[in-house]
Structures are given as structure tokens and as C-alpha cells.
Chain A
Amino acid sequence: MDFSLTSRQKLLKEAVREFMKGECDPVKTLELSKKKQFPWEIYRKAGQHGYLASYYPKELGGQGLPLLDYCLLMEEMIRYDHRIGMALSLGSIPAKTLLRFGNDEQKKKYLPRLTKGEAVASIAVTEPNHGSDIRFLDTRAERKGDEYILNGNKIFITNADISDFYTVFAQTNPDAPPYRGISGFIVEREQEGVTAIDLGDKIGLKTTSSCSIEFRDVKVHKRNLLGKENHGFTYIMEALNEGRAEIANEAVGLARGVYDRALFHTKTRVQFGQKIGKFQNISHMIVEMSEEIESAALLAYKAVWLIDQGKMDLATCLQAKVKCTLTAIDVSLKAMQIYAGYGLFEEQFISGYLGDALATWLLEGTGQIQRNTVASQILGKL
């Protein structure tokens, strides 16, 4: 078992860190965060340098990297500046259902703009009455000739007010048994009948918006159907599981970023005439943070490594997501204690990392729901 990074992985991390160092001015990124603005300028530049969705195949503008290499790169971005790193990674994750289950024509039309940093995508599954429970959806897509007529409302949709397109999931067969009547569609934001509204201020993910979308008699041509009709739930699950492994790695980036800052503070802040790291409770907190991060990272890397081997393991993806997001939250809370009063101020980054860590617990399914699934795998039928 070789745990060392390859030469390529080290170079990728070094290159992306230089990029972040050159592009991310903390004063400017804080301003973006306060104004709730997506970092378009850095996003475009990252696309030009091939850093966005670089695991996409070359014909879609990606670099054909293994998912693990891409996740290490993303981890490094988030570690350096979560406000930018999270936005950069969330630009393309939502397009996973299209990447995995779209046909060539659909993929070539929509995905290269994501890798180039020219557009972001959203996935629209969650509804006001369907968060964890998506056995049925209230959004309806009714077939009329060559078109589907889409009606309904979605909520908590990342970047929906700036995305080029959404992959929308809707009920195509209202009479089907649970999970069996949902289909996926590609819908462009500018289509008639689509209204996306930013839902307001959040405590995390401040450089990406969270929106509601209303679909009112939106006409979607059948060529924009994702895969097969009524197979949508399977697509969501497959893509989401991969996405969860990615989010686990995002959380590792958050944990490492906040840990770096806490460690620096521990080694420089003086109280009672000595560096605060000399106090055992502080030094133990630092060690606990390091223990948590290293063990969480191993699980996160394993989850994406399995995907690269073509052996995606549902329980590993879910456990990685739960473990890593909890780690990011715990490490951020410890960093807040180490920074004490300073930690409350957004200038110090700490509260921002905490906000994003809390959000990763919720992204692509709450940790509790994910534990339910893992429990059923471990315990079987009781």
C-alpha cells in the first residue's frame, strides 16, 4: 500500500497553490463574500489553466485526470481560500448527472463551457416539500408531443441565478411506485417560464448563491431528456454518490485550511508571556485536529480512489462524506477556540471555514440520511 503522492500530484498541488496565491487577495475575496458574488474573474482564469473539472475527458475540455488527482487539486484550492475554492469546485459538481448519463450531443453542447470557466451549472432536485425524501417529486413534467411541459418549484439550488443550465429532476409518472417515476432534463436558465431567485444570506457558501426556481409551463424538448424516462432517481443517486466523495475531499480542504490558520496562531500568539501553543490544552487541540484530518483524508482519498478503479463503493463514499464534514466542523470549532475573540471576525477566515464546513454536512444529502443508508448496508435486514 503506497500512501505517497505521485510526482504529478505534488506538481499539481504546487501549481494550483501558486495560482491561488497569485489570485486570491483576502481583502477582495472577503468583499466578494460580503456582497455574495461569485468569483467570476478567478473562475475564468482557473478554467483557462485547466483547473476546473479537470477529470472531465479531453473531448469535453477536461484534462482526463483521475478523480483523485482532481480532488487533491480542489482540496488545495479550498485549503488556501475557501471562499474561492468552494465556488470553483461547486461550479461543475452539479453537472455530474449530465456527465455520467447525458448523450454525446448534450455533453458536447453544455459541458465544455464549465471546464473553460465560462459557465456554471446547477442541479435542481430539492423542493420545498422534498429534501431528504425524494421518492416522489412535486415538480411535474408532462409529455406533449416532442416536448415536456415542466411545472413546479425547487429550493436551495446552488448558483441557480447565474447558471447557464440546470439538470432538473421532475415527476414524469405520477402513478409510479416510489423512486420509479422521476426523470432528468436539461433546462436553460434563460428559457421562458424559468425564474430563479436568490434566497438570501447564509452563514456559509457565501460566494455561491442558494436559490429557489419556479418552472411555469416551461417547454423542454425531448432531446433534453437525460438518459431514459423514469430512470432519474438512479441517475441522481449514482452521480450524487460520486459527488459525495468529492464533497468529502472539499471538507478535507476546509479542515486543512482552518487548521493551517489555527496552527499559525498557536505558534505566534503570546499570552502570559509565552506562545499559546505551550499551554497543554491548546497543544492537545492542535494534535486532535491533526489526528482527525489525517484519518478523514485517508477515507476521502480511498472513496475517490475506488471510483477511479471503477469500484465505487456506496458505503465508503457516504462514510467519507460524514466523517470528513464532521471533521471540518470540529476542526473549525477548535480553531474558533484557539482564535478566541479574533475568530468571530470574518477577516480571520475562521468563521467562514466553519460556515462552509456546516454547509458540506448538508450538501448532496444530510449526514443523518447518509448514516441511514450506511446502517442499512452494515446491518442488513433486521
Chain B
Amino acid sequence: MNIIVCVKRIPKTAEADIFIEKDNKDIKKDNLVFALNDWDGYAVREAVLLKEKFEGEVIVLTVGPDESKEVLTRCLAMGADRAIRIEEPIPNDGRLIAETLAKVIQTGPFDLILTGVQAEDDGWGQVGVALAQILGIPHASIVTHIHIEGGKAKVRRELEGGLEELLEIKLPAVLTIQTGINEPKYVSLAAILEAEDKETKEMTLEEIGFSPREPLDATIDQVSFPPTGKRAEILKGTPDEVVGQLTEIIKRKKGS
């Protein structure tokens, strides 16, 4: 089973102080730490687990500058077999990323494509779905479980309100992977050293025969912090009284 996993290098913003660039189009990234998108990490791990069961090859694919090699090496250390990087600044347009990825994907055989549900930095959640559309193959999003059987995948999807949906989907297909689908595994030091010897192919847009159309479907007008909302409510009283008040609030919010 040949699996392609599309990954992205993102700035970690969850615990960092965020500042906005002067032109209000992006955040300042100079002092941020970059890493593999969390959702993509689960997708790579899932691909490696499937490979352990069904054999084949796991290829990781990214669009991004030279620095993106680091996340590819990380994916190789997690068990991917080889990597491809398309040398291009990451465009602010999900469909354009999907079109670029599709150009490379179409050149070889594959059974399954995995992406993260979304990227931590832009949160669009578009690339996987757009990729399926461009390739003309089925897809399922927010996948929390995969079971492969006879050219089909039975997948569980996460829905709101604690619901799950079970789908049977014909392969090849694109699945966008939700965090928690598997148990992450630490990357061993030996695996990092071995990853350095695995193949990472680098290609330009010209080499893959792709010229992006202009103008893009989407452009970012402005990035800003949300306006400050109502201040938090501070509960007063003894610990027992506070617990009582808190329980009442939770009950109210839950609507029971």
C-alpha cells in the first residue's frame, strides 16, 4: 500500500507572544519556533502504522522553503520512507497548495493520501478536500479511525455533539486526519540519524510543470486580535459555595 502524506511546517503560536506585522497581513514570525503541524504528525504516524500492516511505501510531501526540510526529516524519522519538497513559499491559498501537490501526486501510483484536518497556523482545513476534488477521488474529513479491507477503507469521522459517522470509501482516497487517531510515539535518536540518510527530493514549480494562475482565489485582507470581550466572572464565597455556583453555571450552559 503506497501512502502519500502531505505535511506543512508551521510556526508554533499556542504558547508564544503574538505580534502583528505593520501591514496587518500576517503575524511576525521572526522569533517563533517552527515545527511539524500537529495534525500532520498524526497523519504520518497513521501512515506508518498502515504500512506496518500492509507494507508498501510512505512518501511525505510538502510545499515550502528550504527550512521545511527539517519537518521532512522529522517525518522520515517517524518512519516515512522518502520525502519530496516543492521549493516554493507557502501560498496563502489552500486551493493553490492543493493544485501544486496534485501535480506531483499525479506522477506516481498511490493507494491513499493523508493530510492533517487543518494547519495550526491558518486553520483553513482546505488542502485535503481540495486535493481530492482536483484528483477526482473520494475523500473523508476529520477521520478518527481507519480500517483497510479489500480496496476499501472503513473510516470513522468525528461529528459535533460526540457523534461519529462510519463511512466506507473506495480507494484511492484522501483522508484528513484528526488529532488523537493514534498514540504518538517518541522519535528515537537512532531514527533521526537514519532519517538523514533517506531520500529527500527537491523540485521547483517549473520541474513539476506547474504555473500558478493569477489572481489567487483568496487573499488575506487583515489579521487582527479579536476585540476584548466581557470580563470573566469571579465567583465569590467559601470553596463549597463557589463549587455550588460553578455547578449551577455548568448545568445552565449545558442546557439541562
Contact = CB atoms under 8 A, between A and B. Distances in A.
Q: Which of B74, B186, B189 has the most CB of A within 10 A?
A: B189
B192 A15 contact: yes
A12 B186 contact: no
B85 to A, nearest CB: 13
A14 B192 CA distance: 11
Contact of A7 (B69, B188, B189): B69
A65 B189 contact: yes
A10 B192 CA distance: 11
A90 B69 CA distance: 34
Contact of A14 (B35, B69, B188, B193): B35
Interface in B62-83: 69-70, 73-74, 77
Interface residue tally on A, bucketed by range = 10 to 19
A324 B84 CA distance: 42
B69 A49 contact: no
B192 A8 contact: yes
B186 A19 contact: yes
A59 to B, nearest CB: 14
A50 B188 contact: yes
A14 B74 contact: yes
A156 B187 CA distance: 36
A48 B77 CA distance: 15
B69 A15 contact: no
B248 interface: no
A73 B187 CA distance: 13
Interface in A7-52: 7-8, 10-12, 14-15, 18-19, 22, 48-51
Contacts of B69: 7
A54 B189 CA distance: 8
Contact of A12 (B35, B184, B192): B192
A77 to B, nearest CB: 12
B192 A18 contact: no
Nearest to A19: B186
B77 A11 contact: yes
Interface string B160-198: 000000000000000000000000101111101100100
A63 interface: yes
Contact of B186 (A8, A10, A22, A65): A22
B192 A11 contact: yes
B73 A12 contact: no
A50 B186 contact: no
A49 B192 contact: no
B190 A7 contact: no
A14 to B, nearest CB: 7
A49 B186 contact: yes
A51 B189 contact: yes
Interface string B181-220: 0001011111011001000000000000000000000000
Nearest to B186: A19
A15 B196 contact: no
Contacts of B189: 12, 15, 49-51, 54, 63, 65, 73
B196 A8 contact: yes
Contacts of A49: 186-189
Given A12-B192, A14-B35, A7 B70 contact: yes
B193 A63 contact: yes
Given A15-B192, A63-B193, A7 B73 contact: yes
Contact of B187 (A7, A15, A48): A15
Contacts of B35: 14
Nearest to A16: B189
Contacts of A22: 186
A130 to B, nearest CB: 38
Contacts of B196: 8
Contact of B70 (A10, A48, A65): A10
A18 B73 contact: no
A63 B188 CA distance: 11
Interface in B38-79: 69-70, 73-74, 77
Contacts of B190: 50, 63
Q: Which of B35, B73, B74, B192 has the most CB of A within 10 A?
A: B192
Q: Which of A48, A49, A54, A65 has the most CB of B within 10 A?
A: A49
Nearest to B41: A18
Nearest to B190: A50
Contacts of B193: 8, 63, 65
A22 B35 CA distance: 17
A50 B187 CA distance: 10
Contacts of A50: 188-190
Nearest to B189: A50
Contacts of A73: 189
A11 B73 contact: yes
Nearest to B35: A14
Nearest to A49: B188
Interface in A203-259: none
A324 B234 CA distance: 44
B7 to A, nearest CB: 14
A11 B186 contact: no
A50 B193 CA distance: 11
Nearest to B70: A7
Nearest to A48: B188
Nearest to A22: B186
Contacts of B70: 7, 10-11
11 contacts: A7-B70, A10-B70, A12-B189, A15-B187, A15-B189, A22-B186, A48-B188, A50-B189, A54-B189, A63-B190, A63-B193
Given A15-B188, A54-B189, 13 more contacts: A7-B70, A8-B193, A11-B192, A14-B35, A15-B187, A15-B189, A18-B184, A48-B188, A49-B188, A63-B189, A63-B190, A65-B189, A65-B193
5 closest residue pairs by CB, A with B: A50-B189, A15-B187, A49-B188, A19-B186, A50-B190
